[in-house]
Structure 1
């Protein structure tokens, strides 16, 4: 009898370990608390910036996870980081980025880092900034 109860418990435990399976999720990550690999990528991208890029970087770390890094180059003059939304539309993963006016902002953030878990591979990755389609400056792996 105990063996019969143990099996459902183990299955429930295993299913609980894969919370993100099958779901597209994203969350903001503190760059200082990121892994060494992510920190190295961010440092390299900042070193390579020359003021002519758009400040949008992607780092692929696993099949189901990547990081989106936004540097100061992303921001237009007088703007600060705003909202982000990530959506899947059939075979396309779309990232929507927005800026906001930085009037009255005292502690302006210099960069943003997001961890994005994707449930599958996508044929296309599209990025929009303030409603206009743009490109990713660099993709690292």
Structure 2
């Protein structure tokens, strides 16, 4: 019985370590490194005209930060859900607004990819759009 238990633990560890998974979560500016903070600060202090409020910072090939500021929102709207889908060679990021006005000034997401992708698409309310700026 003990050998079976040890075998199950070993198999569980090997399965858990074998395959990378795409993950994303909301974070605050206090939780990111100085490079990401500087990127966001440059956006917020820029004198360029307003854009669409969608920004990406590429920390590594598989670690990214998605930053949305209030320019993303239409008047009277709030930040909604984020969903990420993938296929063979591309990643699609779906961003939604909701009808509830928000007090939030921004949304920041830490994205860890499971591998590199050839293409990346971004959608706002199910319509394809673009990144205002991508930083490295």
**Residue 57, structure 1, aligned to residue 55, structure 2:** yes
Runs of 5+ consecutive residues of structure 1 not aligned to the other structure: none
Q: Which residue of 2 aligns with 1:125?
A: 120
Runs of 5+ consecutive residues of structure 2 not aligned to the other structure: 1-5
Q: Which residue of 2 aligns with 1:31?
A: 29
- 1:120, CA displacement in angstroms? 1.2
User: 2:69 and 2:95 mapped to 1: Cα distance?
Assistant: 13
- 1:42, CA displacement in angstroms? 0.6
- 1:35, CA displacement in angstroms? 1.3
**Residue 114, structure 1, aligned to residue 109, structure 2:** yes
29-38 vs 80-89, which deviates more?
A: 29-38
* TM-align CA RMSD: 2.3
Deviation sequence 1:22-52 (CA, Å, 0-9, x none): 2111000011222111111110111126453
Are residues 114 and 49 of structure 1, via their aligned partners in 2, closer, same or farther at CA, if it must alter by over 3 Å?
farther
User: 1:102 and 1:110 mapped to 2: Cα distance?
Assistant: 14
The alignment covers a number of residue pairs equal to 128
